[in-house]
Amino acid sequence: MIAYTVPLFLRGRVITDDLVTFGTRKGVAQFQAPDMTKYVARLPLHSPAEMSDLYRLSFDEILDVLEALGNALDFDTNTHLQEAYEASLVANVLPAEMLKNSYRVLRPLFSRENVTEIADSQVGLDYLNGWVPHTLRDGREQRVRAFGSRTLHIPAGNGGLVSAVTILRSVITRSDVIIKAPSNDPLTAVAIARTLADVAPNHPITKHLAVGYWKGGDPAVEETLYQPHHIEKIVAWGGLASVKHITRYIQPGLELIALDPKRSATIIGAEAFADEATMHDVARRAATDIGVANQEGCANARVIYVLTGTDAEGLTKANRLGELIYRELMSLPAVVSTPPLYPDRELLDHLEASRMTEDFYRVIGGEQREGAIVVSQFDEAVDYSPMLSGRVANIVPVDDIDKVTAAVNSYTQTIGIYPESLKRRLRDTLPLFGAQRLTSLGYACNVAVASPQDAIEPIRRMCKWIVDEECDPQTVIPLWQLTPA
Amino acid sequence: MAVTQKTARSVTEFMDDPISFFGQSYTQMHSIGRDELEALQRQAMSIRFQQHHQSIEMLRKLADRLGITAVTEFNDVVPLFFSHTAFKSYPAVLIDKKRFDLMTKWLDKLTSYDLSGVDISGCSGIDDWIDRLDEQTPLEVITSSGTTGTISILPKDKRGAEEGMTLWKICLFQTFGREPTEKELNPSVDVVWPNFANGKLGHLRIANMIKRGFTGGDETKFHALYPFAVDTDLMFLASKMRAAASRGELGRLEIDPALAARKDEFIAMQERQAQDMDAFFTRITEQLRGKQVFMLGTYHLMYDIAKAGLQRGVRNVFAPDSAILTGGGMKGVALPDDFMDVIKDFLGVDRIQVGYGFSESSTFHWACSEGRYHVAPWVIPFVLDPDTSEPLPRTGVQTGRAAVYDILLRAHWGGVISGDEVTIDWDLHCPCGQSSVAFEPDIIRYSEKEGFEDDRITCAATHEVHNEAVNFMKGIDL
């Protein structure tokens, strides 16, 4: 059964010829896409000179186009988005209501105010739109401009927002962009591209966008395309295996911007147990960090350290918080969180084994595969913590904060912390171990686009920082006049 | 007198000594009528559940939570099945911190034996702990190793190990349809073991059992590829390394000083491996050429050895009536289509026997002439829905997750769910003549099917994992 087709969007043209078939994560369903080996030669620009049209655009015009794009990304009327939604029902693990909602948040992303904030805070409008002058101490006049680059993007597929952000970042940097559609979100990037072609046909922004699907790791496509004469940068999200795979193509002239797989953590201070009302508030915040989009994201809470201590009183507190978090988790609205459609069988087996190992663990809920809280009865996370997903989290009581810092490493992205005073106390230490974003408990999955990501500034990294300098021999001593020091 | 003609059937003998019950005869084991067998199985299952409900705390708690006080029909037992995770549910940090008191307490809740009196004072590591359990209890614990940083610990017992070997002999040397001869009942053969000589790790533990069971205790008749033992603590280190690497924490991994002190010894072993392999081939060609042997290993291991042998010009090495047993998944390295021919060419035997089983159960199910794995009579097979673990009907052709209730398991609970996708044609009467239910030949691990990283180290990977740990130790200053 062919569930959907992923067309090739080639710089304004929509191609559905030479279709080949691929499997989906749902056994019988398959999808089709043009055989990329037949089109790969046409994916990259023929010549970098073709990017000059992007530099004839004013930033105002870029804002106009993105605003028009945003206005057209109205889920109720945009058939491309509706098609993308239908495909994601087959390709994605999230339930229908949640997926539908993920399309509704696209429109405000492209508003003038939002785009301007991102461009100005993450790169600087001056640098994007012209040469920024600066006189150095030695007298030379230096001017710096951020140029776009020829970039290949491999976005993650656990939400349509990633594809939208990818396009937004590319447009504001005046980049030429090729997007490899993710198999678990196959049509969102294509839908946005097609909408762009509708609102801005033949516009340079439309002509510098290509979106298509090939199986990740297909050498017939990748060995041809991943060459410094075709692309300058690869922005790769997601799985360890796929990022590792791409590194084989990295060479001088072809840079990797890796937005690696990440995991996140949570730290809850003793203040959370001050009174009933505070405990309930903390439980709701923690449940939100666990539950958003069914814990599919890298920012979701998984292991939650609580500074209760590990004596009997501390364990009682941790267990009580576990009960409260579980209750809040179950009452999250369906548009935010639901029981997972495809719970991880292996994880559930571990959960049941922990339930039988009550000397070390207390398992709250999980018997209906609805999600669960495992409260460790000592100061270690469960051994299967890397598997935590589908609304299963682990509360770990600890005696002091050193135990927590030991658990933070280079794969740690977000740490949700309660209260703020604890966060301020930890913010100069946790980054040394690898933490990349510290946020108020309850906001882990509320991620700003106008922000560094994974401890880098991806939009700046997508730019080429070009220097033009003017040296007047009267001011800057020429090397030809240099005398021995 | 054939077993089917016996009148007074003792369920006690069936469940506690099935070998005598079936007159040590493979033919009788697989000739009993299905209705008769199922009646025996139901009774035995019900009795064993009551025994284990008393003696195994984890089972009792699970049954109590589910409100199960008795099992009478086959499907009654399904909610009580343990997954492989039950045998690795202890926190791995207990081993790091050498809390073998707590490990013993944990294991005590999984086994029917009382471990409360075990003296573990000064216990230095996993191998030491297992030695103490060996010495002080009826257990003969085996472990399997995982990539998640936790190894499974299966509380098997010595009695089961002995029965297991007797059953292997029955299955290996007898032919269905013919009552056993004296020679078939008491074979004494050289054992070829293309693996490490010893170790506590599941399949290596078998080495000692085989040594006892097949060679009559004559050490010189046991021929291992590598003469040394795999150290379980070293394998645990390898397992922790993988887990640490997946968390980006390899740099923070601490190595137990007791293990670190043996670094040079491990490296020396590793460097001797090529030499050991040469010596192995010299031995089997000079001492064993033309002899009846028992050799076993996974497909992968068998193929590697056969290829290495053929490259050295060694072929048709053993007597044609040798017992060769293989099995295991096709995971990891893909074997060429003609791999079985390569193995046969090297071995020079008439037939290669294949079995199916998993370590949480104890029984191996032998393949018949049709390639089906016939289920031993004291094992009740189930095909479960792979996602929900609900039992599928015991009629028609069913494909799903394999689970078994192994009545013969006394030391631990016999209801276990595998990670394998199997098919059973419940209505089939196999043309091979055996009356027993059988798993169809195509068996695949779900993890393999779904392309996930497997959590097990198979025999085939032991060598690589061992080297991985040694290489890691080489790379750091200890």
Residue of B nearest to A344 (CA): B387
Q: Report the mean per-residue pLDDT for chain A.
A: 93
CATH 3.40.605.10 describes domain A2-260+454-469: yes
**Facing B248 at nearest CB: one of A350, A359, A411:** A411
**Using CB atoms, which residue from A383, A406, A409 is nearest to B91?**
A383
Do A2-260+454-469 and A263-440 show the same overall fold?
no
Q: How far apart are CA A112 and CA A59, in angstroms?
A: 11
Place of tokens 């909610």: B79
**Is the CB of B97 inside 8 Å of chain A's CB atoms?**
no
pLDDT at B473: 60
CA distance B463 to chain A (A): 24
Instruction: Select from B86, B105, B252 the Cβ nearest to the Cβ of A353.
Output: B86
- Phi and psi at A281, nearest 5°, equal -65, -45
* Per-residue confidence (pLDDT) for residue B452, from 0 to 100: 36
**Any CB–CB contact under 8 A between B21 and chain A?**
no
Q: What is the pLDDT of residue B458?
A: 34
Cα A358 from Cα B376, distance rounded (Å): 35
Q: How far apart are CA B292 and CA B348, in angstroms?
A: 11
Q: Across the interface, which of A346, A380, A386 has its CB nearest the CB of B91?
A: A380
pLDDT of residue B25: 96
pLDDT value, residue A439: 97
For residue B179, the SS3 value is: coil
Q: What is the 3-state secondary structure (H, E, C) of chain A?
A: CEEEECCEEECCEEECCCEEEEECCCCCCEEEEECHHHHHHHCCCCCHHHHHHHHHCCHHHHHHHHHHHHHHCCCCCCHHHHHHHHHHHHHCCCCHHHHHHHHHCHHHHCCHHHHHHHHHHHCCHHHHHCCEEEECCCCCEEEEEEECCEEEEECCCCCHHHHHHHHHHHHHCCCEEEEECCCCCCCHHHHHHHHHHHHCCCCHHHHCEEEECCCCCCHHHHHHHCCCCCCCEEEEECCHHHHHHHHHHCECCEEEEEECCCEEEEEECHHHHCCHHHHHHHHHHHHHHHHHHHHCCCCCCCEEEECCCCCHHHHHHHHHHHHHHHHHHHCCCCCCCCCCCCCCHHHHHHHHHHHHCCCCEEEEECCCCCCEEEEECCCCCCCCHHHCCCCEEEEEECCCCHHHHCCCCCCEEEEEEECHHHHHHHCCCHHHHCCCEEEECCCCCCCCCCCCECCECHHHHHCEEEEEEECCCCCCCCHHHCCCC
pLDDT tens digits, one per residue of A398-428: 999 988 987 888 778 899 999 999 999 999 9
Q: Is A365 left (phi over 0), alpha (psi -120 to 50) or beta?
A: left
Other C-beta atoms closer than 10 Å to the C-beta of A217 total 11
Q: Which residues of B touch A352 (CB under 8 A)?
A: 83, 85-86
Q: What confidence score (pLDDT) does residue B455 get?
A: 29
- At residue B340, the pLDDT reads 86
Which CATH superfamily, name and number, covers A263-440?
Aldehyde Dehydrogenase; Chain A, domain 2 (3.40.309.10)
Chains A, B: CB pairs < 8 Å: 61
Q: What is the pLDDT along chain A (485 residues), one digit of tens a residue?
A: 889 999 999 999 999 999 999 887 666 788 999 999 999 999 999 999 999 999 999 999 999 999 999 999 999 999 999 999 999 998 888 899 999 999 999 999 999 999 999 999 999 999 999 999 999 999 999 999 999 999 999 988 877 789 999 999 999 999 999 999 988 889 999 999 999 999 999 999 999 999 999 988 888 999 999 999 999 999 998 766 677 788 899 999 999 998 876 788 999 999 999 999 999 999 999 999 999 999 988 899 999 999 999 999 999 999 999 999 999 999 999 999 999 998 988 899 999 999 999 999 999 999 999 999 999 999 999 999 888 999 999 999 999 998 898 788 877 889 999 999 999 999 999 999 889 999 999 999 999 999 999 899 999 999 999 999 999 999 998 998 887 77
The reported pLDDT for the residue numbered B127 is 86
Out of A356, A380, A384, name the one closest to residue B58 (CB).
Answer: A356
Task: Report CB contact under 8 Å: B252, A384.
Answer: no
CA distances from B60 to A244, A439, B244 (A): 47, 45, 35
Question: Is the Cβ pair B89, A354 closer than 8 Å?
Answer: yes
CB–CB of B90 and A360 under 8 A? yes
Kindly report the length of chain A.
Answer: 485
Sign of the C-alpha dihedral, residues A324, A325, A330, A331? Answer: positive
Nearest to B89 among A345, A353, A411 (CB): A353
Distance CA B456, CA B87 (A): 13
pLDDT tens sequence across B123-145:
988 889 999 999 999 999 988 75
- Which residue from B minimizes the CA distance to A345? B387
CA atoms within 13 A on the CB side of B371: 5
Distance CA A120, CA A449 (A): 12
Whether B248 and A410 lie within 8 Å, measured CB to CB: yes
Q: What are phi and psi of B396, to 5 degrees?
A: 65, -165
- The length of chain B is 478
What integer pLDDT is reported at residue A305 of this predicted model? 97
- Residue numbers of chain B with a pLDDT score lower than 70: 1-9, 145-149, 200-203, 242, 245-248, 328-334, 449-478
Residue in chain A closest to B250 (alpha carbons) equals: A409
| pTM above threshold 0.80 | yes
Best mutation target among A244, A346, A348, A385 (most B Cβ atoms within 10 Å) is: A346
Query: For residues A207 and B6, what is the distance between their CA atoms, to the nearest angstrom?
Result: 86
- For residues B432 and A257, what is the distance between their CA atoms, to the nearest angstrom? 61
Quote the pLDDT of residue B247: 66
**Distance from C-alpha of A380 to C-alpha of B92, rounded to nearest angstrom:** 10
pLDDT, residue B456, reads: 33
Question: How far, in Å, CA of B77 to CA of B71, rounded?
Answer: 6
Closest by Cβ to A345, choosing from B92, B387, B455: B387
Instruction: Report chain B residues whose CB lies below 8 A from the CB of A346.
Output: 85, 452, 455
The one-letter amino acid at A197: A
CB atoms within 10 A of CB A485: 3
Chain A: which residues have CB within 8 Å of chain B?
A: 240, 345-346, 349-350, 352-354, 356-360, 378, 380, 382-384, 386, 406, 409-411, 434
ipTM > 0.90, yes or no: no
Give CA–CA dist A21/A2, Å, rounded: 8
- Lookup result for tokens 């994560």: A25
**What are the pLDDT digits (tens) for B350-395?**
788 988 888 788 888 999 999 999 999 999 999 999 888 999 999 9
Q: What is the pLDDT of residues B246-274, one digit of tens each?
A: 666 777 777 777 777 777 777 777 788 88
Half-sphere exposure of A169 (CA within 13 A, CB side): 29
Domain-by-domain residue ranges, chain A? Answer: 2-260+454-469, 263-440
Per the structure block, which two tokens stand in for A114?
Answer: 């939002």
> What's the rounded Cα separation, in Å, for the pair A288 and A285?
5
B106 with A357: Cβ contact below 8 A: yes
Over residues B417-453, the pLDDT tens digits come to 998 999 999 999 999 999 999 999 988 888 776 543 3
DSSP string of B8-58? S--HHHHHH-HHHHTTT-HHHHTTS-HHHHHHHHHHHHHHHHHHHHHH-HH
